[in-house]
Structure 1
């Protein structure tokens, strides 16, 4: 263990002791008791919560033993304690039973508990308790209201005390929302002002000069937009002023969102997985949000579209280390859709940091791009259970052409330069009238290279059928709505089995087309073609 790790571990242990002390408990117990005056409407919160069509009656739960179930652990225990299951409870259910369950929780968890007071769990619990006040608060007695109000305010005091120490911006934004909702509902200016100032700081530190997340994560873009829109609607519904910085970030995030917004076309770049955005798009429409963007590049992604096809390529620099939790080494990888069905894909992202599959999904081999000598274009190091960037890369020589019947995306990256002395340049050309995608990968070095193995993979979604012809020079591809032919000047064309991570924290088998060979000169060009079978 290094000195820094020892110091960090020791400091955490001391912190844990302090949080459980009477001194800390007294500190967060100093509150002003008010009653709830503003109740957020469930329709405003529908962007955040997926409401089950089939509602559960609270009477069906084991209310007497719900907090005594010792068999629950991990994610199930977290879900129970965050109370988001209240959003699935039938509003005709007994408020008395609901309040009895909450009262038992308060008695069992009245003081800080590291399991049930984690920032994300606590924040969701506050949001749920206040948002479901028809069941959790209304028509209750004064004694219950006193306990409820005290518990919420005490938890918020803890949240305010600890939120700046969190390394997760997602958790900070969730906590920020809980603080703002509490400030609005209890007319507590201290909480509201703190929450809005924290929101402003999150915006300042988390976005680049073009208001795209510094992580370069599309999934995080969607996450941020949902919460910013929610906060705005809460402020509007409660007749509070909306800060200019909130309107500004929603405007710019919305422009980026407009490029990625097609629900059936999830792009698997840098931490993203299959996302169903249909309900959120309905929400935006309901609350009169309309975003447009005619740009061809946003956040380091080139995205070209027509009525039939979408071509997207990662042409952005790697992020700073502290923003690289979900970054994947897929520079110059691309995805291609034909009539909303994906022909070429990346393998996706396994989000669970504790799994070995997380690091596998971050590798260049998991992307539709070139790898040299079995090295990824970026390397990662394990830091406090997260795989963060150790060595990043820069993009150069970008060129994007978007004409009616012709597209070009071209760029280079230096991810292999320091270790192997190699630049990778890729160009993609699409001819719309011929339904033909032509790619050219260049392996470039200023000096004569020692022979190195290269591989270029083109990943498919599970279920796509690949067939190699008898001459070993062509691969036939069958997707749901069309057939395609693949060919290349590379001598070794093979079909490989792989792992697909497109669905959150799930893995399944897929196939990929793999071109392989060896470098033997200062420059090597590998040409390949995808052509629709007419």
Structure 2
């Protein structure tokens, strides 16, 4: 690990010297330039660019010294230089000022720069400059247009060189989108062919046999769908042939989107997901005439059942391969139960900033509504020499069974994540009886010859706004939501309430209350039953 990290840092420094050299600058500088011919409609970017109802005029900004501002956070510095803020500028603004801002940027940054030419910032800049051509290009003179075209080509050439080295799915797809846009906008066959070939490779390597992301990450599914649709609309509007594989992946991802969001309208907190409002994306899909439906009850390792008032979702999948586990959380057989839009039981959510210790806490099994043995997380995580976090252990799920009838639901599965260390298999059955508004859970601990006795806890995480009340009957705890009240009941083990942390909102946390059942494992198979019933 230390050798790999040291070698990586040495190679990184050598490459940095090369990228800043005159040799590399000459290599990515194009001698023959083409004119900008296709200019995409702004509406195509509606799913990724934030449009304000009230647009800002460029005259309202202090643009004279915009590139001389020093006191900016790294995040704001990136935002300033990716030029996505152009989408909030009124088209009636002074074109002369907009062009002047870009001209000054080109003068200062026409050579490679570590911070400004990294894949994400550079790709967004290309997309924004071309898409906002009414502000950035159309009224520029001949000399400016030559400068503009030259820097677009130079950045695209650099992007093609660097994107081959990236293992980041986010960077690869945004970069691919920028390359394809440059290809269709300048009628540049090389860029278009490279971009489409890269797109095909992304699709063939990133999805499982059911076209769900191999990472099992719901946010990633939405990200992919947004960009695939944008690319399709670029190709369609520019009268470029749309590859069959692009139509196919949009069709299947759309079904996945309907499964995890469209039919439930809730952010299910599994495997790197946090609360997101996708209503604007739904409006965008409707505007662009995309409609997706899915009748599936399990997909991507999730079982989701629903009716008009209740949603029950459970993680019934195995962990992704290590290279796809960058945002994976160790919560097998965890579940969320929702009544009329309010969560009765939830998972803790995901703290996305990997530099914060809360990220690892949010990944732990204890942060999920599932069973944990000896207070040990089922999956352990490691940081690689690039600083990214991946899972370093594996397990299998089996015995999956899903039933959805009018008056009876069942989601059932098991995992062997505790088999090696404790000789125990965890099998969970979640039943729901719609007529009674009653959930019945059965957690079965199946032992083998390598059984090692230890403690167990089954946690039930609650929303920060949920109130809980202990009763004189030690087997009952009352749960009070904004729209209903529920009774939690179990006679197996000791029931109590603890204070926890909720990470449902991106890179934020709140205190919450959690119900838990605790006890000791025994040599014979054990069954822990619990019920959550609506109080009428």
**Residues 3-12 or 97-106, more deviating:** 3-12
State the alpha-carbon separation in 2 of the partners of residues 50 and 275 from structure 1: 14
Matched residue of 1:346: which SS? coil
State the alpha-carbon separation in 2 of the partners of residues 52 and 423 from structure 1: 52
State the alpha-carbon separation in 2 of the partners of residues 150 and 41 from structure 1: 23
Aligned-residue offset at 1:520: 2.5
CA deviation string 1:325-367 (max 9, x = no partner): 0110010000111112111111111111111111111100111
Aligned-residue offset at 1:386: 1.6
Name the residue aligned to 2:530.
528
State the alpha-carbon separation in 1 of the partners of residues 168 and 116 from structure 2: 18
State the alpha-carbon separation in 1 of the partners of residues 492 and 346 from structure 2: 21
State the alpha-carbon separation in 2 of the partners of residues 49 and 470 from structure 1: 54
**Residues 256-265 or 514-523, more deviating:** 256-265
State the alpha-carbon separation in 1 of the partners of residues 203 and 127 from structure 2: 21
CA deviation string 1:17-61 (max 9, x = no partner): 111011100000124312211111011111221211222221122
**RMSD of aligned residue pairs (Cα, Å):** 1.2
* Contact preservation (8 Å) 1:448, 1:522: no
* Contact preservation (8 Å) 1:31, 1:154: no
* Contact preservation (8 Å) 2:499, 2:513: yes
Matched residue of 2:435: which SS? helix
State the alpha-carbon separation in 2 of the partners of residues 530 and 265 from structure 1: 21
Name the residue aligned to 1:346.
347
Aligned-residue offset at 1:266: 0.7
Matched residue of 2:37: which SS? coil
Counterparts of 1:136-155 in structure 2, within 5 Å, are 136-155=136-155
Name the residue aligned to 2:411.
409
* Contact preservation (8 Å) 1:183, 1:190: yes
Aligned-residue offset at 1:470: 2.4
Name the residue aligned to 1:98.
98
Matched residue of 2:239: which SS? coil
* Contact preservation (8 Å) 1:31, 1:153: no
Name the residue aligned to 2:513.
511
TM-score by length of 1: 0.98
* Contact preservation (8 Å) 1:449, 1:519: no
Name the residue aligned to 1:213.
213
Residue 62 of structure 2 is aligned to residue 62 of structure 1: yes
* Contact preservation (8 Å) 2:180, 2:195: yes
**Residues 465-474 or 189-198, more deviating:** 465-474
Name the residue aligned to 1:474.
476
Matched residue of 2:531: which SS? strand
Name the residue aligned to 2:363.
362
State the alpha-carbon separation in 1 of the partners of residues 390 and 499 from structure 2: 27
CA deviation string 1:107-132 (max 9, x = no partner): 11110000111100000111111111
Counterparts of 1:243-322 in structure 2, within 5 Å, are 243-262=243-262, 264-322=265-323
State the alpha-carbon separation in 1 of the partners of residues 493 and 37 from structure 2: 72
State the alpha-carbon separation in 1 of the partners of residues 440 and 350 from structure 2: 27
Structure 1 residue runs of 4 or more that deviate by more than 6 Å after TM superposition: none
Name the residue aligned to 2:491.
489
State the alpha-carbon separation in 2 of the partners of residues 275 and 185 from structure 1: 33
State the alpha-carbon separation in 2 of the partners of residues 114 and 302 from structure 1: 44
Unaligned runs of 5+ in 1: none
State the alpha-carbon separation in 1 of the partners of residues 104 and 58 from structure 2: 15
TM-score by length of 2: 0.98
Aligned-residue offset at 1:460: 1.2
Name the residue aligned to 1:336.
337
Alignment size in residue pairs: 534
State the alpha-carbon separation in 2 of the partners of residues 442 and 382 from structure 1: 33
State the alpha-carbon separation in 1 of the partners of residues 139 and 187 from structure 2: 20
CA deviation string 1:468-488 (max 9, x = no partner): 112332111111211111011
Name the residue aligned to 2:24.
24
Name the residue aligned to 2:391.
389
Say which of 416, 425, 428 aligns to 1:423.
425
Aligned-residue offset at 1:519: 1.1
Aligned-residue offset at 1:86: 0.7
Residue 238 of structure 2 is aligned to residue 238 of structure 1: yes
**Residues 212-221 or 507-516, more deviating:** 507-516
Name the residue aligned to 1:458.
460
Matched residue of 1:198: which SS? helix
* Contact preservation (8 Å) 1:478, 1:484: yes
Name the residue aligned to 2:128.
128
* Contact preservation (8 Å) 2:422, 2:452: no
Aligned-residue offset at 1:285: 1.4
State the alpha-carbon separation in 1 of the partners of residues 244 and 126 from structure 2: 26
State the alpha-carbon separation in 2 of the partners of residues 248 and 491 from structure 1: 50
* Contact preservation (8 Å) 2:422, 2:453: no
* Contact preservation (8 Å) 2:51, 2:88: yes
* Contact preservation (8 Å) 2:302, 2:315: yes
Going from structure 1 to structure 2, the CA distance change for 1:515 and 1:524 (only over 3 Å counts) comes to: same
Unaligned runs of 5+ in 2: none
